[in-house]
Amino acid sequence: MRALDSKNLILASHNAGKLREISDLISPYGFSVRSVADLGLPEPDEDGTTFEQNAYTKAYAAARATGEIALSDDSGLCVDALDGAPGVYTADWAEKADGSGRDFMMAMEKVEAALGEKGADAPDQRRGYFCAVLCLCWPDGHAEYFRGEAHGQLVWPPRGEDGFGYDPVFQPDGHERTFGQMSAQEKHGWSVDHGEGLSHRARAFAKFAIALLP
C-alpha cells in the first residue's frame, strides 16, 4: 500500500451529486479537493467492463493531466433478477435519446419495466445492491482500490426527493425508507473515527480511511 503524502487531491468526476457526496465524506480529514470539472478537463471514454477498470480510467486521466494524485469513483446499481444490470452501465440507462443529458426518472422506469418482464414482484425477487469503487491514482499510474457495497431491495413507486440517481427506488437492508428519503448524514453515516456508514460510497471510503489515513 503506497502512502498518501498529500492533502491535495483531484476529484476525477463531472457528476455534481457524486462530487457533493465525496466532498462530504473527505472534508473531515482536512483534504483540499478540486474537480476535473473545475479545471475544465474532459471526461475520458469509459469502456471498461468492471467498476475498477472505469475508476482507473478516470483517475489516471486526471492524475496524468494535472501531475497530482487523483481520486475517482465508479459506481452503479446491480439488480440480481437482471443478472447484475445495469451495473457498469448504470449511468448509460439514464442517457436521453437526444443526447441532451441524463434522466434518472426514465432510468428507474427502465429498471422497473425490466423487473416486470421478469415477473419480479415479491421483495425477495427484487434484491440488488449499489457498488462503489474508489480509485486513488498517482501520476506514474500506480493505483489503490477500495470497494463498498450496500445491499437491499428495489421498491416502486420511487420514494423521496433527497440523494440522486436511483436513490428513490433503493431501500437498504434493515431500513424502511429509501436512500431518497434519507438525509446525507443518514445515508452515509460517516464519522471521523472510521465508522463504516450505510451507503456503498461511505463503505468504500471507510476502507480508504482505514488504509491510508492516520
User: What is the CA angle 145-149-155, rounded to 5?
Assistant: 150
Average pLDDT score over the chain: 91
- Cα distance between residue 93 and residue 133, in whole Å: 19
Residue 65's Cα: distance from chain center in Å?
A: 23
Proportion of the chain above pLDDT 70, given as a percent: 96
Q: Which CATH architecture has domain 8-212?
A: Alpha-Beta Complex (3.90)
Report whether pLDDT(104) > 80: yes
| Residue 69: per-residue pLDDT | 96
In this prediction, residue 173 carries a pLDDT of 95
Q: How far is CA 161 from CA 2, 65, 183, in A?
A: 40, 36, 10
pLDDT of 194:
44
The type of residue at 109 is E
Length of the chain: 214
Which cell is 165 given? Answer: 440517481
Locate cell 498518501: which residue?
A: 4
Quote the pLDDT of residue 87.
98
Greatest mean pLDDT range, 18-32, 85-99, 190-204: 85-99
* Res. 79: pLDDT tops 90: yes
Is the pLDDT higher at 212 or at 145?
145
Q: Please state the rounded mean pLDDT for residues 107-117.
A: 98
What span, in angstroms and rounded, lies between the C-alpha atoms of 141 and 209? 21
Using pLDDT thresholds of 50, 70 and 90, give the confidence band for residue 196: low
Q: Which of 5, 74, 80, 193 is catalytic?
A: 74
**Burial class, 60, CB count within 10 angstroms (exposed 0-12 / middle 13-18 / buried 19+):** buried
| Domain spans, the chain | 8-212
Active site includes 47? no
Taking a C-beta distance cutoff of 8 angstroms, is the pair 212, 33 a contact? no
Instruction: Enter the pTM of the model.
Output: 0.90
Grid coordinates of 100: 441532451
pLDDT band at 205 (very low <50, low <70, confident <90, very high): confident
